[in-house]
């Protein structure tokens, strides 16, 4: 009986020693910045590991979509989202000696692009000219102050791929704190890539222009697209909204509003403001039918504004899945 008790004690202490071994490792958490991601977004992922031997933990990172840009052996990595919507899995394996722990997390890619101004990792993709830009990440806002008294500035986002083709929809939530004067324009613009054939005219820009502080007698609202022929520098403005309606042109100070511009799969243009249709037009479709070799590729979205103006931006979305954004997408 004594030998049996001793055998039990030996087994007990072996198990206890194993449970307390320095080789034990367990990934307690696998964290990430955000829950929804856009095409090509760079997302920091990191493992929270419980072990007595942190200096000897080895990590292996895997994913079933997208790719990593960081080294394999660290507790964190940088995952780059794929350019296809869907749900993907990121997996990390931690090893200490002969002990292994595995954990995974789901990564949902939903939009071509979006920005809520709540994470400084992606702010480098925004550029500006003749403006001072600051970010309030706690309030999820970007502030732009025009710095030139004689010229317009801009705040813009360049698309990082050449895949933003029709159909697409672009949405912005914006407002102004101060504006230069009642004769200065605010412009919401979409730019397109120049084709290699310089003798071919192409759609260079779509422009939504209005006077936020216009008087009630001023017809100020214009929505147009510009065609441009590079070798002759010939520029032509074409109306998408022929009859200007002033009531749609003004804005209220310190009030955020929704603006969206879209071209659907049938090449019909739509403009929405605060979930209300401002215009729809087949003028772009007519142009493209006359120029069948043209394939418009969007490469920039921006807001252009005069000096002595303070603008705020909140949510910003681009989709290319056929949806027409009228308000913030769910």
CATH code (residue 261): 2.60.120.200
Higher pLDDT, 22 or 38: 38
Strands 99-111 and 36-38: parallel
86 and 137 in a common domain: no
* CA-based R_g, the chain, Å: 27
Number of domains in the chain: 2
94 and 148 in a common domain: no
Strand order in the sheet with 126-129: 126-129, 152-158, 298-306, 186-192, 202-210, 222-229, 234-239
**The last residue of a domain, from among 88, 111, 134:** 111
Question: Domain of 46: which CATH number?
Answer: 2.60.40.10
Strands 186-192 and 76-80: unpaired
- Give every CB contact of residue 295 below 8 A, 6+ residues apart in sequence: 165
Q: What is the pLDDT of residue 122?
A: 64
100 and 124 in a common domain: no
At 125, give phi and psi (nearest 5°).
-75, -10
Q: Range of 29's domain?
A: 23-111
Q: Confirm whether 153 is domain-assigned.
A: yes
List the single range of 45-49, 136-140, 268-272 with lowest mean pLDDT: 136-140
179 and 43 in a common domain: no
Q: Confirm whether 17 is domain-assigned.
A: no
Q: Is 306 exposed, middle or buried (0-12, 13-18, 19+ CB in 10 A)?
A: buried
Q: Confirm whether 1 is domain-assigned.
A: no
Query: What span, in angstroms and rounded, lies between the C-alpha atoms of 59 and 41?
Result: 23
Q: Confirm whether 15 is domain-assigned.
A: no
Element (DSSP H or E) covering residue 273: strand 269-273
Are the C-beta atoms of residues 132 and 311 closer than 8 Å to each other? Answer: no
**The last residue of a domain, from among 89, 111, 133:** 111
pLDDT digit string, tens, across residues 70-101: 888 899 999 999 999 999 999 999 999 889 99
- Could you tell me if residue 190 is left (phi over 0), alpha (psi between -120 and 50 degrees) or otherwise beta? beta
183 and 225 in a common domain: yes
What pTM value is reported for the model?
Answer: 0.83
pLDDT digit string, tens, across residues 271-314: 999 999 999 999 999 999 999 999 999 999 999 998 888 999 98
Q: Confirm whether 328 is domain-assigned.
A: no
Higher pLDDT, 161 or 173: 173
Q: Confirm whether 11 is domain-assigned.
A: no
Q: Is the dihedral of CA 138, 132, 206, 120 positive or negative?
A: negative
180 and 156 in a common domain: yes
286 and 180 in a common domain: yes
Q: Confirm whether 7 is domain-assigned.
A: no
Q: What is the pLDDT of residue 184?
A: 81
Q: How many helices (H) and strands (E) does the chain have?
A: 2, 23
104 and 208 in a common domain: no
Query: What span, in angstroms and rounded, lies between the C-alpha atoms of 108 and 37?
Result: 6
- Could you tell me if residue 219 is left (phi over 0), alpha (psi between -120 and 50 degrees) or otherwise beta? beta
Q: Confirm whether 260 is domain-assigned.
A: yes
126 and 51 in a common domain: no
Question: What tokens were used for 298?
Answer: 């969007």
Are the C-beta atoms of residues 165 and 298 closer than 8 Å to each other? Answer: yes
251 and 189 in a common domain: yes
**The last residue of a domain, from among 87, 111, 135:** 111
Return the residue matching tokens 């954990």: 103
231 and 99 in a common domain: no
| Average pLDDT of span 39-50 | 92
284 and 188 in a common domain: yes
């Amino acid at each position: 009986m004594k030998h049996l008790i001793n055998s039990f004690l030996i087994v007990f202490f072996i198990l206890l020693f194993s449970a307390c071994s320095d080789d034990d490792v367990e990934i307690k958490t696998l964290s990430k910045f955000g829950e929804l991601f856009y095409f090509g977004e760079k997302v920091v992922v990191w493992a929270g590991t419980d072990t007595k031997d942190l200096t000897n933990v080895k990590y292996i990172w895997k994913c079933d979509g997208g790719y990593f840009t960081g080294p394999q052996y660290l507790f964190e990595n940088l995952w780059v989202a794929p350019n296809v919507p869907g749900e993907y899995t990121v997996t990390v394996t931690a090893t200490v000696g002969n002990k292994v722990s595995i954990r995974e997390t789901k990564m949902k890619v939903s939009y071509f692009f979006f920005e809520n101004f709540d994470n400084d990792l992606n702010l480098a993709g925004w550029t500006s000219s003749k403006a001072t830009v600051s970010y309030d990440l706690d309030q999820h806002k970007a502030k732009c102050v025009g710095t030139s008294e004689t010229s317009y500035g801009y705040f813009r986002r360049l698309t990082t791929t050449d895949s933003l083709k029709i159909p697409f929809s672009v949405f912005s939530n914006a407002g102004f704190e101060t504006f230069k004067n009642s004769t200065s324009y605010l412009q919401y613009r979409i730019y397109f890539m120049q084709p290699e054939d310089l003798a071919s005219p192409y759609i260079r820009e779509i422009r939504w222009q209005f006077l936020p502080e216009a008087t009630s007698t001023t017809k100020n609202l214009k929505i147009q697209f510009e065609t441009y022929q590079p070798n002759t520098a010939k520029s032509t403005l074409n109306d998408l909204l022929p009859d200007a309606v002033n009531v749609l042109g003004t804005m209220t100070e310190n009030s955020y509003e929704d603006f969206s511009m879209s071209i659907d799969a049938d090449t019909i243009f739509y403009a929405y403001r605060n979930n209300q249709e401002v215009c729809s037009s087949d003028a772009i479709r007519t142009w493209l039918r006359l120029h069948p070799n043209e394939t418009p590729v969007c490469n920039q979205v921006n807001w252009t504004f005069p000096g002595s103006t303070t603008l705020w931006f909140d949510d910003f979305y681009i989709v290319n899945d056929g949806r027409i954004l009228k308000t913030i997408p769910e």
